[in-house]
Amino acid sequence: MSIFSLFLCNAQENLSVSDAVKLTLENNLDIKVIENQNKIFKNNASILNSGYLPKLSSSAGFNKSNQNIEIETPNNLSGKLDNMKSENSFSNVSLQYVLFDNSGRKFNYKKSKELSFRSDLEVKEVIENTLLQLYTVFYEVCRLSEEKEIIRSSLEISKSRLERNKIKFEFGQSTKLELLNAEVDVNTDSIRYLNSIKNLSNAKRDLNLVMNVDLNTEYILDKNVKYNSEENIMSFYNNAVENNTRLKIYNKSVDISGYELKSIRSTYLPAIGLIGSYDWNESTNDNPYAFFNKNVYDGISGGINLSWDIFNSGKRITANKNAKINLENSKIEKEKAFLMFQKELNNSYETYKNNLFILDVQEQSLNTSKNNFLRNSEKYDIGIVSSIEFRNAQINLLNANLSRNTARYDAKISELIFLKLSGQIISNSF
């Protein structure tokens, strides 16, 4: 091994599942985008956007003019004033506050709060989907890593058999056909090994993409696989309806549609508000014929106003009808989502149980294939079995190893899909 290759091996970092989860939660771009969107919903749900606070505004200004005035009356009287100057300064502070609007702002505020809560659930759902994606890719890298080693081990057996046949052929103990068959088997296993390396490299880049790290980063993955106990699985199954994030989102959508309808209905009654203002104004002019040359006034005014949108060309009636339909659709979508959830939950549970059974069968099959290969290997060494029989035993062992390896990770992925549906994938990630 070269010094450069040795450096690359030493530079690889160990990566456990929990480490991968932390990197993903910190770096994943989809999570960052949905979290930023969630901040907008939280801003909209604050008291500053509720309509409960008063509206305070002010204005001020200054005007100055310089005019020449020329007057002529019907009696032929005329006069002229040059450079008549005038100035006007003013300022105003006004306050408006809604005392009563038939609970319209209350429903809008509650709607904003529910939108914020739904946004929290949508963030959680994106995190759940991203974690499921991470786990799928993580364990796919683990599977392909072990697959590569299984194929490499089988390739070493084929190479050893080829070398043995070369020696036998030189001494006349083997035929040319057996030598050619051994060469073909080495080539076949070499191609399979190269394909496994390619597939592993692609999967590693997929993993780095989910974690949003450099695509060429190399990790040594922790291939330890643990399964939840049957007791935990049954507990998750029984509480899945209460914990499923997608169902919670649909529940919030029904609440939001309900508040939207109530908000529209509130506009049928009048709104009562308080108004108040402080005004200051000062005017001066140089006109000798004016009633006054300087005028200053200031004061406070206030009162109560009532506004009532009695009829607005039918738009409110249409909005009310549409809000009723949206509420009904929200309930239908919720029912549809529940039926889909029940199907997916039961399918995922049965798939998980079935994959565990398949894993147990593949474990037994692998033990049988190992014993069969050892016996055939011993008999091949002493010439009792042919190279074709030995190759069959080798292929059976290879396939049993690959099947057992696939079954091991299929069971884990199916468990994770079940955990996602039952709302437990995040809590089981740490």
CATH number at residue 352: 1.20.1600.10
pLDDT at 118 over 80: yes
Cα(427)–Cα(175) distance, integer angstroms: 62
Tell me: do 294 and 364 sit in the same domain: no
Higher-confidence position of 229 and 105: 229
Higher-confidence position of 349 and 59: 349
Tell me: do 49 and 191 sit in the same domain: yes
What's the mean pLDDT in 355-375?
Answer: 97
What's the mean pLDDT in 85-113?
Answer: 84
pLDDT of amino acid 289? 54
Instruction: Please report which confidence band the pLDDT of residue 4 belongs to, taking 50, 70 and 90 as the band edges.
Output: very low
Higher-confidence position of 410 and 76: 410
User: What are the backbone dihedrals phi and psi of residue 51, each rounded to the nearest 5 degrees, phi first?
Assistant: 85, 0
pLDDT of amino acid 249? 97
Tell me: do 117 and 182 sit in the same domain: yes
pLDDT tens, 324-364? 999 999 999 999 999 999 999 999 999 999 999 999 999 99
Tell me: do 88 and 166 sit in the same domain: no
pLDDT of amino acid 2? 45
Whole-number mean pLDDT of the chain? 89
Tell me: do 198 and 70 sit in the same domain: no
Tell me: do 294 and 181 sit in the same domain: no
What's the mean pLDDT in 111-128?
Answer: 95
Per mean pLDDT, which range of 89-98, 119-128, 150-159, 217-226 is the poorest? 89-98
- Structural domains counted in the chain: 2
Tell me: do 250 and 284 sit in the same domain: no
Range of the domain at 227: 3-53+102-269+312-429
Tell me: do 323 and 376 sit in the same domain: yes
pLDDT of amino acid 49? 82
Tell me: do 245 and 179 sit in the same domain: yes
- Conformation bin of residue 15: beta by default, left when phi > 0, alpha when psi is -120 to 50: beta
What's the mean pLDDT in 233-245?
Answer: 97
pLDDT at 230 over 70: yes
For residue 385, which of 187, 178, 171, 155 has the smallest C-alpha distance? 178
Per mean pLDDT, which range of 82-91, 273-282, 376-385 is the poorest? 82-91
Tell me: do 208 and 142 sit in the same domain: yes
Tell me: do 111 and 170 sit in the same domain: yes
24 Cβ contact partners less than 8 Å away, ≥ 6 residues apart: 31, 130, 131, 134, 210, 211, 212
